[in-house]
Amino acid sequence: MEWKRTREPADAWHMTDDLHVEHGKGDPFAAAIRATRMSMIITDPRQPDNPVVFANDAFLRLTGYERHEVLGKNCRFLQGPKTDKAAVEQIRAAIEEETDVSVDILNYRKDGSTFWNALYISPVSNDKGDLQFFFASQLDVSDRKHSESRINADKDRFEKAVKERTAELEAALDAQTTLLHEVDHRVKNNLQMISSLIIMQRRTIRDEGTRRSLTTMLERIEALSTVHRRLYQSKDVSKFDVADFAKDLVTDLLTASGRAEISPALDLQPIIISAEKATPIALMVNELVTNALKHAFKSKPDGMSAGRLGIKMSQPDGHLNIEVSDDGIGMADANGDASFGMRLIKSLARQLRAEIEWRDTGPGTKVVISIPNEPQEKGNVS
């Protein structure tokens, strides 16, 4: 659009010179400006207070004023109480610096109603570079402004809704975490109580066989306790490190047995399994280690000679391999499948879809378990 250029050749502007004196009816350029639907005015900065010297019909239609009401006045009559001060300041500064400016500003009609005005002002100079006029066009963008503010309101509403929902979810998560802590706390306390009950019961019993039974039971429950303690020490309660568990278990059982002549040989890779496998694996390892301690070194010919109890854990190709070995008397004389411990081991192996094999290693026994394991996730356990 021609009139948006700030520095026009002087001969183009003699036509607009004519405009403000309301002559030049035959000038097609002036006629176009008069008749266009775009609201336009021209002000004269050389007169005091930069008054309007020309306004086209579109401007009068837009603002509701008569021509004689606007000519000779400064444009600020369009402003009102809700007009943004910053926008006004922006216009003032542009006029002072004689540069063009484009700003959305809330203006008031004669009847007091408001409209959003996409105002564009540009200075017009003659060929010597002296400022002659300011040219201003007004476009009613109330519709755009309203939909903008509707979109903003929608956005605010959405953001508020999202914030509320997030707060709700966070509260629910907090409640869940508290519940999890509470349940975990109770499980562990109850396991402690069960152990305590067994220990207290055992104290009252004289019969050696019954005492041994209670001890075996205590060992099994303590294996579960160790699982629970370990499970909750990790950052991720859904994962469990079997190697850490085995270390705790063997140390514990060995010192508890008081048999300093048996030395542990641990070869443990950290192996992470999912929490639901923790209990069966822990119970199985407990059975094998207690068996070795109880049976393997029972009647070595030289009585208290040194023994070795080995646990090896490795993880080749998606399997978890556990080996529990001893260099004791071997299992040639073992009385087969009738006993509870063996049945427990075999059932747990079935539950885990594990293969289990007893090897006579002369001297001693090696039990090899191979459990299918899901792909390992690294670095989950503290």
Ligand X SMILES: Nc1ncnc2c1ncn2[C@@H]1O[C@H](COP(=O)(O)OP(=O)(O)OP(=O)(O)O)[C@@H](O)[C@H]1O
At its nearest, how many Å lie between another protein and the CB of residue 224?
9
Interface map 266-305 toward another protein (x if CB under 8 A): ----------------------------------------
| 106 near ligand X (CB under 6 A) | no
| Count of positions (residues) in the chain | 382
Residue 141's φ and ψ, nearest 5 degrees, are -115, 30
Near ligand X by CB under 6 A: residue from 19, 250, 284, 292: 292
**Beta-bridge partner residues of 27:** none
| 325 near Mg ion (CB under 5 A) | no
Residue 114's φ and ψ, nearest 5 degrees, are -115, 160
| 199 near another protein (CB under 8 A) | yes
| 368 near ligand X (CB under 6 A) | no
Question: Which residues within the stretch 139-168 sit at the binding site for Mg ion (CB under 5 A)?
Answer: none
Candidates 194-202, 308-316, 326-334, 338-346; binding stretch for Mg ion (CB under 5 A): 338-346
Structure tokens at 117: 């005005």
Candidates 129-137, 189-197, 293-301, 362-370; binding stretch for another protein (CB under 8 A): 189-197
Tokens 């007091």 -> residue: 112
Structure tokens at 132: 């002659």
Tally of CB atoms within 10 A around 301: 6
Burial 19-42 (b: 16+ CB within 10 A, else e): bbeeebeebeebeebbeeeebbbb
Near Mg ion by CB under 5 A: residue from 24, 51, 341, 363: 341
At its nearest, how many Å lie between ligand X and the CB of residue 300?
11
| 257 near Mg ion (CB under 5 A) | no
Q: What are the E-state strand segments in the chain? A: 39-43, 52-55, 101-108, 114-125, 131-140, 239-241, 262-268, 272-274, 307-314, 319-326, 355-360, 365-372
Tokens 């403000």 -> residue: 20
At its nearest, how many Å lie between Mg ion and the CB of residue 284?
11
Tally of CB atoms within 10 A around 351: 14
Near ligand X by CB under 6 A: residue from 228, 230, 277, 295: 295
For the chain, report the end-to-end CA distance as a whole number of angstroms.
Answer: 70
- Residue 99 binds which entry of ligand X, another protein, Mg ion, none, CB below 5-8 Å type-dependent: none
Q: Strand 355-360 relative to strand 307-314: parallel, antiparallel, unpaired?
A: unpaired
In this structure, what is the dihedral angle of CA atoms 165, 170, 173, 174, given to the nearest 10 degrees? Answer: -140
| 291 near Mg ion (CB under 5 A) | yes
Question: Which residues within the stretch 303-362 sit at the binding site for ligand X (CB under 6 A)?
Answer: 326, 328-329, 331, 334-335, 339-342
Give the residues lining the site for ligand X (CB under 6 A): 216, 287, 291-292, 294-296, 326, 328-329, 331, 334-335, 339-342, 365
Give the residues lining the site for another protein (CB under 8 A): 181, 184-185, 188-189, 191-193, 195-197, 199-200, 203, 218, 222, 225-226, 228-229, 233, 247-248, 251-253, 255-256
